[in-house]
A = this chain, B = another copy of it.
Amino acid sequence: MTTSPTRTGDPREVVELSGHVLDTGLFTRVLDDVRSLGGDYEVVRFDVGKEHDDPSTVRLAVTAPDTATLDSVLMRLHAHGANLVDVEPARLTVVERDGVFPADFYATTNLPTAVRVGESWHDVENPEMDCGIVVDVDGEGPGATVRSVRTVPVSDVRAGSRVVSGAVGVRVTAPARVQGDDSGFTFMQSEVSSEKPQALVVRQVADEMRAVRASGRRILWVLGPAVVHTGAAPSVAALVRGGWVDVLFGGNAVATHDVEQALYGTSLGVDLSAGRGVEHGHEHHLRAINAVRHAGSLAAAVEQGVLTSGIMHALVEGGKDFVLVGSVRDDGPLPDVHTDVLDGQRAMRAQLQSPERGEVGFCIVVATMLHGVATGNVLPSHIPLVCVDINPATVTKLTDRGSAQARGVVTDVGLFCATLARELTGSEV
């Protein structure tokens, strides 16, 4: 392996990282951070541990378009225990005003840290994250001696103190492999979070759907009943009519509540136009089921003019496919529901690669764990799967069960569908 500069003349420093670099996923995070902060890298040397307990050592040449960016990258790499190979003294800047750091102050991690002053390294007395480093020196010039090197929070720094600027001359000790690694503890690097910019995610999903449709492949939706309870049925129906839903997977509940809303304006007893709760209201969903059983099927109910709106109506009218599979908690069920779960699984598999209908190219699961996991079970890994739910546990479960291609969106189902429908169909439902 050889070294080749990415661009001649760009600022460049070589850092070294050693320890259980691969086992802990550390190396991946280091590379990601270099890129995300605007830098680039080459692997200068890589000595991989031959056996499980051997440490590895990596040297990276890091470059960046300018010194400030490079400084920022180097400071970040400190959080992973990557130090500069070249040894130079730290740069110290005098604080001008109480409670204010110089603009390029070194922001600390909570790792063991040392600062090079003159010819020697000095341990930071009290590692603490998100502080600056103050160096106290007695005397001046070559004969000066370092009295203390310590972290100071910004509110406690005083004018006249000398604070470390930039990452040169600062060295941290890599975090050891966490001791509890083989225990039952929960190690958290969770990225399941509701604190994400969701409007952006809606646009990304819309873009993926556009690409899949343009390629002639089909879009599969897997829906739970909360889609109806949250008032999203008109949005989903608009998406069906707009050609953004080719196949639907679901259970008895989503179809029943959709029909209930079409027939009675309620969903599990909630009057959806007024938002007013009709307590329990169980008769409505039972009567909706009975009405479709009387007609014979959902398609017959549409044909007979019994069912005139909603998601199921739109699917029937548009000649779209749906597979409804029952569960032990069902009332009824609707006549279209597979009551044998193995039959249901076979019907789902048949839709994934239908010779007449074409291949599914994208799958979106909204507000259902049961049918989402069932779909994940039969889906090949190359079909992208997006899971939308207000409950982070649902999206986590879907992937814990092995659907590695799954991506999660933790958001409000009703507002998500409305925003997606507006993005794709222009309709304001």
Bound Cα distance A297, B99 (Å): 12
Is A75 in the interface zone, CB < 8 Å from B? Answer: yes
C-beta contact mask, A281-323 vs B, less than 8 Å → 1, else 0? 1110011011101100000000000000000000000000000
Residues of B within 8 A of A293 (CB): 99-100, 154
Q: Which residue of B lies closest to A229 (CB)?
A: B195
Interface 9-residue window, one of A85-93, A141-149, A338-346: A338-346
Give the contacts of A353-402 with B (CB-CB under 8 A): 353, 370-371, 373-374, 377-382, 384, 386, 390-393, 395-396, 398-400, 402
Q: Contacts A130-B331, A194-B390, A373-B329 given: A188-B399 contact, CB under 8 Å?
A: yes
Given contact pairs A4-B50, A196-B275, enumerate 16 new A-B contacts (beta carbons under 8 Å). A40-B51, A46-B46, A75-B283, A76-B281, A105-B290, A112-B381, A128-B379, A184-B196, A185-B409, A188-B408, A190-B191, A200-B274, A251-B328, A327-B341, A329-B371, A412-B412
5 contacts between A and B (CB under 8 A): A22-B27, A128-B349, A183-B275, A186-B407, A198-B414
Contact B408 A415 (CB under 8 A): no
Could you tell me if A275 and B349 are in contact, using CB atoms closer than 8 angstroms?
Answer: no
Total interface residues on A, using CB and 8 Å? 160
CA distance A403 to B129 in the complex (A): 9
Beyond A184-B196, A407-B185, whether A374 also contacts B415 by CB under 8 A is no
| A67 close to B (CB within 8 Å) | no
Flag whether A1 is at the interface (Cβ < 8 A).
Answer: yes
In the assembled complex, which residues on chain B have CB atoms less than 8 Å from the CB atom of A153? 331, 345
Cβ–Cβ contact A178 & B128, under 8 A: no
Contact between B405 and A178, CB atoms less than 8 A apart:
yes
A346 to B384, CA, bound (A): 39
B377 and A188 contacting across the interface, CB-CB below 8 Å: no
List residues of chain B with CB within 8 A of the CB of A165. none
Q: Within the complex, what minimum Cβ distance (angstroms) separates A51 from chain B?
A: 6
Contact yes or no, B349 A126, CB < 8 A: yes
Q: Are A381 and B277 in contact (CB under 8 A)?
A: no
Q: Which residues of B contact A204 (CB under 8 A)?
A: 180, 183-185, 275
Task: State which of A7-15, A30-38, A212-220, A236-244 sits at the interface with chain B.
Answer: A30-38
Question: A221 within 8 Å of B by Cβ?
Answer: no
